[in-house]
Amino acid sequence: MMPLVHSMAPRNPTTPLPQFQIGILMMLELAETVASMSIYPYINQLIREIDITGGDDAAVGYYVGLIDSLFYLAQALTVLSWSRLSDRIGRKPVLSIGLMGACISMICFGLSTTFWSLVISRCLWGMLNGNIGVMKTVMGELTDSTNMAQGFALIPVIWSIGSFVGPLMGGILARPQDHWPRILTNPFWGKYPYFLPCAVSASLLLLAFFTLSCFFEESLSTRRRPSLASTMPGISRGANSDDQETSMAKSTENALLWSLFTPVIVIPNANYAMLSFLDVSFRALIPLFLSTPIHLGGMGLTPSSIGLWLAFCGTVDGLFQALFLAKIVDWVGPKRLFCISASCFAPLMVVFPIMSWLVRTRGVVDHAVMYALLFQLMLTVTWDMAFGACCNKFIVSLQVTTYANPATALMFVTASAPAKNVLGVVNGLSQSSGSVARALGPALTTSLFAFSKQHNILNGNAVYVVLIILSGVLRWLGSQLPDEIQDRDE
């Protein structure tokens, strides 16, 4: 048995981070996060305006959830393929394709006037962009065991910035003729009232594309690009061996893929998948609840107000995770903190019907409702520490700094890759499980929200009850995580 990692284990000197390369990588993440988050303040209003609901505001949730879920489904079906392709042709070409796919998707989304054109636009992003897994692979290649935690710690910081800028930009720039009627007089803005935030997002993605193309250096070593079969003993290297080599390469890759399904990886990934499902369900519920009319149990806020609130939440959450999470993990312990965070999801859901009751009773969003929103924000911050709690154990297993961060549970998978030449596959596999969970979450949750409101099931609160039950499943899965992490051979 391998020895357990001790807190006083000697550490190697920290290698300086390649700041320029990582800076470009973070620019890519920022552009994609801003673009992805910018649609949420106005997506519900957009669905109402294209009149697919037939004037039934309660049915908006069906269509919003379908758009989100089909996006994640398209991503789940292709992200592993993009990651495997990046192992063959390099990270830079795959990242470039992803950025252009996202750019085209945002332009099409802003010009969409029908529901299915919105769906196709979002699916286009999901199919052509596997960057979420590839960027984590690149981070693993640009860092080593002494500075990996520092590198991955940048990911949630950039995500938090994007989570602030994206909703704020989307809320302010949506329906620009309503805000600046004297400046934007062209009928184009009346026909496409949500094109401006999409165009700005596309511009950021295009800027990231050119920066990547001009300045980013390929992180995948050319020595690791030949097929796996070339390293297998007993394989002919003659002129007529191409078919045999290709067949052996595929067989070897499949064997390596199946070898990843071990309890050490499956248990954290099951937690990650359920965590992703509940998290994306909660993220889909927030703008839907805030935009739903008061008489249907929502708060009836405008897109600009929703954008401001989402931006504020993203800022508070990101700052707290960056400043305090490490100390809390060291104090409480990673597994215990994960279980505490998972236990916060139930009261997080209970706040929704409480706010609905307050708004209906008072007829306006007053101080009592704002206090409830702030309390929900406190629970959200605690809930989000679950990602960092998982990550801390994985950092310890690498014998790097004990400062935890909410980067991602995928750091464990990055560290557990059996070989450098399958690092992309390992990250893609984990990202696929998360994408499948995210594909199911929005459609099921928002549809159940709409169904609950339309048929007054449990006074319109059935969706919250179901999610509370699922949070109990996550709490049980969290109890299955190991108390100690074994060190691994380098």
Q: What's the token pair of residue 381?
A: 């911050």
Domain ranges of the chain: 19-218+261-479
Has residue 254 got a pLDDT over 60? no
Of residues 237 and 100, more confidence is placed in 100
pLDDT of residue 419: 53
Decide if pLDDT at 213 tops 60: yes
For residues 325-329, give the mean pLDDT. 73
Q: Show the tokens assigned to 469.
A: 């039950």
Lowest-confidence region among 1-5, 58-62, 387-391, 483-487 = 1-5
The structure's pTM equals: 0.73
In the prediction, which pLDDT does 289 show?
A: 92
The arithmetic mean of pLDDT across residues 322-327, rounded, is 75
The pLDDT of residue 147 is above 90 = no
Residues 185-209 have a mean pLDDT of: 93
Least confident of 7-21, 116-130, 209-223, 297-311: 7-21
* Over residues 124-136, mean pLDDT: 86
Does residue 422 carry a pLDDT above 60? no
pLDDT at residue 405, rounded to an integer: 34
Helix extents (H) in 292-422: 303-332, 334-343, 345-362, 367-397, 410-416
In one-letter notation, the amino acid at residue 258 is W
Return the higher-pLDDT residue of 346 and 411.
346
In this prediction, residue 252 has a pLDDT band, given cuts at 50, 70 and 90, of low
Show the tokens assigned to 14.
Answer: 């920290």
Q: How far apart are CA 316 and CA 314, in angstroms?
A: 6
Judge residue 117's burial from the number of C-beta atoms within 10 Å of its C-beta, 0-12 exposed, 13-18 middle, 19 or more buried.
middle
Is residue 94 very low, low, confident or very high in pLDDT (cuts 50, 70, 90)? very high
Q: What is the pLDDT of residue 177?
A: 87
Average pLDDT (16-29) is 90
In the chain, the percentage of residues whose pLDDT exceeds 70 is 76
Q: What is the mean pLDDT of residues 318-330?
A: 76
Q: What is the mean pLDDT of the chain?
A: 78
What is the SS3 assignment for 476?
helix
**What gap in Å lies between CA 356 and CA 360, rounded to an integer?**
6
pLDDT (tens digit per residue) in 348-376: 999 999 999 998 888 777 788 899 999 99
State the pLDDT at residue 374: 93
SS3 486: strand
Interval 75-95 mean pLDDT: 87
CATH number for the region 19-218+261-479 comes to 1.20.1250.20
CA atoms within 13 A on the CB side of 460: 17
Label residue 471 by pLDDT band (50, 70, 90).
very high
Contacting residues for 375 by C-beta, under 8 A, at least 6 apart: 351
Q: How far apart are CA 382 and CA 114, in angstroms?
A: 39
With cut-offs at 50, 70 and 90, classify the pLDDT of residue 424.
low
Is residue 385 scored above 60 in pLDDT? yes
Task: State the average pLDDT over residues 52-75.
Answer: 83
Residue range 269-323, pLDDT digits in tens: 777 788 889 988 998 899 999 988 888 888 888 888 898 898 898 888 878 877 7
- pLDDT bracket for residue 460 (50, 70, 90): confident
Return the pLDDT at 65.
85
In this structure, is the dihedral angle defined by the CA atoms of residues 73, 78, 82 and 84, taken in order, positive or negative? positive
Query: Mean pLDDT lowest for which of 113-127, 198-212, 345-359, 416-430?
Result: 416-430
DSSP-assigned beta bridge partners for residue 4: 486
Residue 417, pLDDT > 60, answer: no
Q: Please choose, from the candidates 302, 47, 32, 315, the residue with its C-alpha nearest in 3D space to the C-alpha of residue 179.
A: 302
- The residues, ordered by sequence, that sit 6+ positions from 127 with a Cβ below 8 Å of its Cβ are 74, 75, 77, 78, 101
pLDDT at 5: 42
DSSP conformation class of 419: S
Q: What's residue 32's pLDDT?
A: 93
Confidence check: pLDDT of 3 > 50: no
Determine the 3-state secondary structure of 240 from DSSP. coil
SS3 of the chain: helix, strand, coil, percent, to 5: 75, 0, 25
